[in-house]
Amino acid sequence: MSDAKDPEHPESEHGTDAAAESDAAAESDAAVAKAERDEPDAPGVPSGGSPGDDPDKIPAWKAILQGKGPRNLALKIGAPVVALLISLVITMILLRATGAAPFAAVQSMVEYGTTDNSIVDILNRATRYYLSAVAVAIGFRMGLLNIGVDGQYRLAAFLAAVLGGALALPAPLGQFFVIVAAMAVGGVWAAIAGVLKVTRGVSEVLSTIMLNAIATGLIAYLLNEDRLAELSPGSNNIATPQIPEDGRVGSLNGFLAALGIDLPGQVYGLLPLAIVVGIVFWIVINFTRFGFDLKVSGLSPSAAQASGVSARRMIVVTMIMSGAIAGLIGMPELLGGSYEYSLNFPAVSASPASRSRCSAATIRSASRSPRCCSRSSTRVRTSSRRWTCRRRSSG
C-alpha cells in the first residue's frame, strides 16, 4: 500500500490541522510567558539575562545602571535620600561660587516650608502636581510619553469653566458635570495623539507637543468677548462667566479646624480627589487584568497580540485615560479658587497663595509679561504680546 494521503479519508488532514493549532497555542503561551518574565515587577530571570543577572544577586549599583532599580526597602528609601543630598551639595557649591551664603539659603528654605502660609501653598501645589504625575505615569506604564498634559489640562479647564458658568444646577450635580466634562475634554484631546500613532505611526511626543500649541491657540480664539468670555468689571481682564455658588467646592479649612488645625489660606476642597485618583491608579495598574494587559502591551506588543490583547487599542485607551486625568488638574483651582477661566488662570506651578502674593517688582515691571497680579492691581495689555500689572485707582 502507498503511504500517500487518501483524499477520501480526511482524518490525516484533521490531524495536521490539530497539530498546527497545538503549535500555535504553544507559541502563544510561550510569548505570554516571555512577556511575564520581561515585566519589571515580575520575579524570575530578566529579559535577555541569565540567573546570575537577577537584581537580587548582583550589586545594587549595577542593577540601577541596568535600569532594574532598587529591590529592597533600604535601597528604595536610600536612593532618593542620597539623590537629595547630592543635589543639596551641588546647590551649596554653586551658591558659594556666586558669593552667596549657602547655609543661610538652606535655612531660609527650611523656614519657608514650616510657616502656615507656605504649608497651604505646598498642599495646593501638591494637589495639581500629583494629578499631573498620575496623568503622565499612566502613559509611562505602556511606554508612552504624554507631553501634552499642559494642553489637555488647559483646554479641559477652559471648556469646563464655560459649562460651569452656563449651568445653574444644584449641588452636587453642578460639580459632577463640570468634573466629568473636564475629563471628557482631556481624554478626547489626548485620544487624537493615540489615533495618530496607531493609524499613521506619528510619535506621541511630537503630536502632543503640537496639540499643546493648538490648544493654546484655540483657547486664545475662544476667550473673547464676542465668543465664550466676557470683560471683567473694572479691569481689562477677560474671563468666562463665574461658576455660581451651588457649583463651587468649599475649602477644607472647616474640616481642618475641627481637627485643631487652623491655616490662614484656603486649602483646596478637591485635595482628597487627588488622593483617591492615586489609590485607584495603584490598584488598577497592579491588581487588575487591565493593568497587566497595559504593561504587557508596552513591554512586548507581539506577546500582547498573541494573548488576545490589541496593542493598538491599548495605546488609544491609555492616551484617553492619561488625558482624562490631565483634565482633572485644573479642577481644584477652578471649583475651589478662581471659579472662572481668565488670563490669570494659573499654570500647574501657580496657586492661589502665590497668585495673591505677586511681588511689587512684578507689578512695577513693564518689560515682563506677568501671569498674575496682586488683588490690588489689574493685568493690562501694553502691546500685542506683552502685559503688565497696574494698581487700581482708589476711586
pLDDT tens-digit profile of 17-66?
A: 555 555 555 555 555 555 455 444 444 444 444 444 454 566 655 555 45
For 107-119, b where at least 16 C-beta lie within 10 A, e where not — what string? eeeeeeeeeeeeb
Q: What angle do CA 313, 314, 317 make, to 5 degrees?
A: 90
Beta bridge partners of 390: 378
Does residue 252 share a domain with residue 314?
Answer: yes
- Cell triple for 277: 485618583
- Quick check: is 38 in a domain? no
Could you give the number of structural domains in the chain? 2
- Quick check: is 18 in a domain? no
Question: Inter-axis angle of helices 149-166 and 173-200, to 10 degrees?
Answer: 140
Neighbouring residues of 255: CB distance < 8 A, sequence distance ≥ 6: none
Does residue 245 share a domain with residue 198?
Answer: yes
Does residue 332 share a domain with residue 363?
Answer: no
Residue 262: its pLDDT value, please? 86
- Quick check: is 174 in a domain? yes
Does residue 219 share a domain with residue 283?
Answer: yes
pLDDT tens-digit profile of 384-393?
A: 445 566 555 5
Beta bridge partners of 239: 230, 342
Does residue 276 share a domain with residue 392?
Answer: no
Does residue 143 share a domain with residue 227?
Answer: yes
| Whether the model pTM is above 0.75 | no
Does residue 241 share a domain with residue 205?
Answer: yes
Helix or strand run (H / E) with residue 331: helix 331-333
Q: What is the DSSP string of 300-320?
A: -HHHHHHTT--HHHHHHHHHH
> Which of 351 and 170 is assigned the larger pLDDT?
170
Taking all residues of the chain, what is their mean pLDDT, rounded to a whole number? 78
- Quick check: is 213 in a domain? yes
C-beta of residue 160 within 8 angstroms of C-beta of residue 187: no
pLDDT tens-digit profile of 184-243?
A: 999 999 999 999 999 999 999 999 999 999 999 999 999 988 889 888 777 788 999 999
- Quick check: is 74 in a domain? no
Q: What is the DSSP string of 240-293?
A: PPPPPGGG----SHHHHHHTT---SSPPPTTHHHHHHHHHHHHHHHHHSHHHHH
Q: Which of 123-132, 249-258, 361-370 shows the lowest per-residue confidence on average (mean pLDDT)?
A: 361-370
Closest by CA to 345, choosing from 199, 206, 155, is 155
Does residue 230 share a domain with residue 185?
Answer: yes
Structural domain span for residue 380: 358-395
- Quick check: is 262 in a domain? yes
Does residue 362 share a domain with residue 329?
Answer: no
Q: How far apart are CA 246 and CA 178, in angstroms?
A: 12
